[in-house]
Structure 1
Amino acid sequence: MSSDPKIITVDKKNIADYPDCICFINARHPAHPQKINWLQKRFSEGLRIKLAYVPGQKKAAGFIEYVPGENAWRAVSAKGYLFIHCLYVYPNKNKNKGLGSMLLSECIKEARQKSMNGVAVIAGNGAFMAGTELFYKNGFSLLETDGQGNDLLLHKLKDEPLPVINDWKTELTKYKGLHIVYSKQCPWVARMVKEVTDSKTAKQLNIQITELQTPAEAQHAPSLNTVFNLIYNGKLLSDRYISLTRFNNILKKEKLI
């Protein structure tokens, strides 16, 4: 029996066999089928998921999700590149064992096989972000930063026009009042948004909630990280997933409640 990690490619045909590819959420949780439905639409746009399994562990120890750049769900222009949405290794006992590098190499190998220009990713060192160190170690370099702790990194394979961060700051100024702009890419966010929608606070403050439903909408979102945005009068209050408690604390800080 091999002691080497095993890489599994998940697609629309076998996703039912690998329920743990949905962000640590139990398959019986109501948020789980929401992400399944989102993925089924994205597979037709070229989205790929690969899981790393360690011998002796039932659940996946590592995960990578990527897509052709023209269908990226971030405020970037990256046509001709593969774009990584998400990469993680979990739990801590599986970290520092090369699993992240192994998953990255799978993505880079596919970019080479398809004669693409390279692989791009948004990374940072905040919560729910893949750290920059892993990417630098695997041949990525910094292209741009957005001033919010998010970096656009690139593993270049060809000398072609580079990916760029789109002008999300101009988009941000268009939002007046209190807004949540999100996508169902993250089931944790979808669950939190439903909790907010059902709350008295939503009705009292007339929170406007917008779901991004296509890659084009995401690429013209009011922040670089399009999974979740909390906005008040053109000010980005959060561009990361937050709990309902954190949501209320932010509103108190802004003197909205």
Structure 2
Amino acid sequence: MEIIEVNRDNIDTEHICCAISEMKGDRSTSLKKEWLKKRFDDGLIFQKLNVRGKVFVEYLPAEKAWCPIHANEYFFINCFWVSGQFKGQGWADRLLKQCFDDAKKMGARGIVILSSAKKMPFLSDPKYLKYKGFQVADRAEPYFELLYQNFDENDSSKPAFRDCAKHGKTDRLGLVLYFTNQCPHAEKYACLIKECAAERGWAINMIKIESTEEAQNAPTPFTTYSLFYNGSFMTNEILSEKKFYQLLDQLKQNR
């Protein structure tokens, strides 16, 4: 087993870990690959273990991150995942080292990554990252943490969330879902909950973020998938049909 880079030369033949194949009519993998191809122009690097599983890290210059942050000259880890039978074998350490090596080689000041006060779905594990030397640079409501590691101990500057994403608020009322194709499953499940909402007589405003500029001015740190209700952040978890119905039941009770 070895770590390999997925790039524009091999992306059409390599799987991308969290979406290995597509069922008929499902475009999850294709949408993610289309998103990656555009990000390669921004300097995105995708490293994975050459196995059929979820063992990968993707990162890019923070100036191009699809996350509303100020982190000039840092690299931003967009997604970092080791799961299943490959956990506990040192692959996370090796992938993280690859990221660090690439960032240093390109003259970055350090690494920044989105996490949370405690482990949350679809966010990197804060316990592991802090064990590896990451520190909290900034916080955003209700539980997001921006973690960083600076390569220069004498550099006291810290990355920060943009103000638009710090408060867990949007000026749009009702159910509002912000999502992107950073995760191959986001659009599929966004469309699913739109149908579920309609079945229950709810409307949902679907806002697909299509550019770096839109992402960096979003009202949420997690632009991959963030659901709001009446202006307040609800969850960043990509909801199944069952979980979304449960959420609607809770909202109905609180009306």
* 2:185 counterpart of 1:215: no
Instruction: Determine the C-alpha separation between the residues in 2 that align with 1:61 and 1:239.
Output: 20
Aligned counterpart for 1:143 among listed residues 137, 145, 148? 137
Contact 2:19 2:28 in 1 (8 A): no
Residue in 1 aligned with 2:158?
Answer: 162
Residue in 2 aligned with 1:74?
Answer: 67
Aligned counterpart for 1:133 among listed residues 127, 136, 139? 127
Give the count of matched residue pairs.
247
Instruction: Determine the C-alpha separation between the residues in 1 that align with 2:250 and 2:11.
Output: 42
Residue in 2 aligned with 1:123?
Answer: 115
Instruction: Determine the C-alpha separation between the residues in 1 that align with 2:63 and 2:8.
Output: 20
Contact 1:123 1:129 in 2 (8 A): yes
Contact 1:143 1:154 in 2 (8 A): yes
Contact 2:2 2:49 in 1 (8 A): yes
Residue in 1 aligned with 2:91?
Answer: 99
Instruction: Determine the C-alpha separation between the residues in 1 that align with 2:46 and 2:113.
Output: 15
Q: Indicate how the Cα distance of structure 1 residues 251 and 65 shifts in structure 2: closer, same or farther if over 3 A, else same.
A: same
Encode CA deviations 1:39-88: one digit per residue, 9 max, x unaligned: 111111111100023xxxx4145100111101111221222110001111
Residue in 2 aligned with 1:182?
Answer: 179
Q: Indicate how the Cα distance of structure 1 residues 25 and 255 shifts in structure 2: closer, same or farther if over 3 A, else same.
A: farther
User: Among the aligned pairs, what percent are the same residue?
Assistant: 26
Contact 1:101 1:134 in 2 (8 A): no
Instruction: Determine the C-alpha separation between the residues in 2 that align with 1:34 and 1:24.
Output: 10
Contact 1:45 1:67 in 2 (8 A): yes
Aligned counterpart for 2:242 among listed residues 242, 245, 249? 245
Q: Indicate how the Cα distance of structure 1 residues 59 and 231 shifts in structure 2: closer, same or farther if over 3 A, else same.
A: same
3-state secondary structure, aligned to 2:252: coil
Instruction: Determine the C-alpha separation between the residues in 2 that align with 1:97 and 1:145.
Output: 31
Question: Which stretches of structure 1, 4 residues or longer, exceed 4 Å deviation after superposition?
Answer: none
Shift of 1:25: 4.1
Instruction: Determine the C-alpha separation between the residues in 2 that align with 1:182 and 1:11.
Output: 24
Contact 2:139 2:166 in 1 (8 A): no
Residue in 1 aligned with 2:231?
Answer: 234
After TM superposition, the score normalised by the length of structure 2 is 0.88
